[in-house]
Structure formats: structure tokens, C-alpha cells
Amino acid sequence: MISSIAVQVLPMTADTEEVIRIVDHVIAYIDKSGVNYQVGAFESTLEGDYDQLMDILKNLPKVAAEISDIPVMVYSKINMATDSDVLTIAKKTDKYK
């Protein structure tokens, strides 16, 4: 079952360099997961198997904590369909490239 999630990991600091460092670390984790994803200015969109995406989502705060003790907020939107696939990242965004 193909699903998609949009996720924003927001470190709770005003230090922009630290925000970028933590977010880059989280994105590297997402990249290593092997799921299709796209990074946006405010959030990243991932698509794949629902259970795999939920495993990734639940690990994101832990991944951020690997390199910093700064608290993070994790915001997500989940799109899942039981009888059909959801719209892909490409179908949603390719026309704007």
C-alpha cells in the first residue's frame, strides 16, 4: 500500500546554523531509508509503504537527538488509502518544474 507523509522537524533554537545541522542529519537518515522523498523549504515529503513510513516518522526525534540535545518538534501530515494508491510526489509537483 503506497502512502505519503509530509514531515517537518523543527529544532527549538534560534541558532539557524544548528537548525540546518540537525535538519541535514535527519534528511540524511531519510535518504538512507531508501524511500522516495522530496525536500521542500518547510517540510519533506516521503512516499512508500505505510508501515515503513511510520517507522521512519517515529524515529525522527531520536535521529535528531543523536547529534544534539536541543528539543525538536515534529509535525506531520499522513496520506494513506486502503483500496488504492495515493497521488505521488511526481503527480503533485512535476507540472511546476
Which pLDDT does position 72 carry in this prediction? 98
Residue 5 CA to residue 79 CA, distance in Å, equals 6
Residue 43 CA to residue 50 CA, distance in Å, equals 18
How would you class 43 by CB atoms within 10 Å of its CB: exposed for 0-12, middle for 13-18, buried for 19 or more? middle
Q: What is the pTM of this model?
A: 0.91
Q: pLDDT 10s per residue in the chain (97 long)?
A: 689 999 999 999 999 999 999 999 999 999 999 999 999 999 999 999 999 999 999 999 999 999 999 999 999 999 988 777 788 888 889 999 8
Q: What is the CATH number of domain 2-80?
A: 3.30.70.930
Which pLDDT does position 1 carry in this prediction? 63
